[in-house]
A and B are shown apart, each in its own frame.
Chain A
Amino acid sequence: EPEVTQTPSHQVTQMGQEVILRCVPISNHLYFYWYRQILGQKVEFLVSFYNNEISEKSEIFDDQFSVERPDGSNFTLKIRSTKLEDSAMYFCASSVRDRPNYGYTFGSGTRLTVV
């Protein structure tokens, strides 16, 4: 069964450093998303992306965050200057259509630890 692949599975970074989280969505999917889950809290929407531009973003997704689809297969989330509160599990998801009845396929996540 096709999978959404995320790398790395765990990243530790120092506060103030830039990090790039990588995702390879399912090949025929056209809609891409990033979510995060802070330990002990709910899964939260960050951003949706379609046709090489952001469709929607949450209040969390401020100027420190950016997304890119650099080469037609990867989908990346960049955090420019990490803060302690950015420590979370980050999930990438993709969908063939932006319709809930198709479901959204999530990757296994990248655990980001900011120290």
Chain B
Amino acid sequence: DQQVKQNSPSLSVQEGRISILNCDYTNSMFDYFLWYKKYPAEGPTFLISISSIKDKNEDGRFTVFLNKSAKHLSLHIVPSQPGDSAVYFCAASEEDSWGKLQFGAGTQVVVTP
């Protein structure tokens, strides 16, 4: 059941540069999309969300872009910092079932000095 796909298992980026994480989905009923960050031995931490009626949402260094026609979203982190090194999960949910998040497999981001 691969409704949410993160095809890049890892990403290495230099400190100060932009990190771009990608996520694709197959379920056209998804109504909300979320990004989570996870450090080892911790639970996922909510970063940012976007409703399906929007195409962009920004919060500080984090911007999420949604392309509904392509069923694709991306997370931009600018500028990348060493503390951003973590696993990033894309998640999605349907209307009236918002708490039932479908997660992607995650992308390991490593920010190098």
Contact = CB atoms under 8 A, between A and B. Distances in A.
Given A48-B99, A95-B99, A98-B98, A103 B49 contact: yes
A43 interface: yes
A80 to B, nearest CB: 23
B44 A55 contact: no
Contact of B99 (A31, A43, A91, A101): A31
Contacts of A35: 101
Per DSSP, chain A at the interface is: strand
A106 interface: yes
A56 interface: yes
Given A42-B104, A100-B32, A101-B32, A56 B43 contact: no
Contact of B51 (A45, A101, A105): A101
B107 interface: no
A108 B99 contact: no
A103 B98 contact: no
A99 B32 CA distance: 9
Interface in A80-108: 91, 93, 95, 98-101, 103-108
9 contacts: A33-B99, A43-B89, A55-B99, A56-B100, A99-B98, A101-B49, A104-B34, A104-B99, A109-B43
